[in-house]
């Protein structure tokens, strides 16, 4: 099952991006800026988990490694 992280730094778009750590995304944040989200069947579940944990943040999937969950 894929392992996901979220970038604790907000992007210029206002998003905190979820990345698939299992795929070795070339756009992963530095390790000190990663927060583990754990294993999830897909990026949809990982983004949903992040939104539950940080309901006031704008959370999106990375265009490169979580493209089905990238909305902005």
Which tens digit of pLDDT belongs to each residue from 22-71?
998 899 999 999 999 999 999 999 999 999 999 999 999 999 999 999 98
Residue 20 has pLDDT above 90, yes or no: yes
User: For residues 47 and 6, what is the distance between their CA atoms, to the nearest angstrom?
Assistant: 9
pLDDT of residue 13: 87
Residue 4 has pLDDT above 90, yes or no: yes
User: For residues 70 and 72, what is the distance between their CA atoms, to the nearest angstrom?
Assistant: 6
pLDDT of residue 72: 78
Cβ(59)–Cβ(35) below 8 Å: no
Burial class (CB in 10 A: 0-12, 13-18, 19+), 69: buried
pLDDT of residue 43: 97
């Amino acid at each position: 099952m894929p392992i996901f992280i979220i970038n604790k730094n907000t992007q210029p778009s206002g998003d905190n991006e979820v990345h698939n750590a299992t795929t070795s995304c070339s756009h992963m944040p530095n390790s000190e800026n990663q927060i583990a989200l754990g294993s999830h069947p897909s990026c949809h579940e990982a983004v949903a988990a992040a939104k539950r944990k940080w309901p006031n943040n704008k959370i999106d999937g990375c265009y490169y490694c979580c493209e089905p969950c990238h909305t902005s």
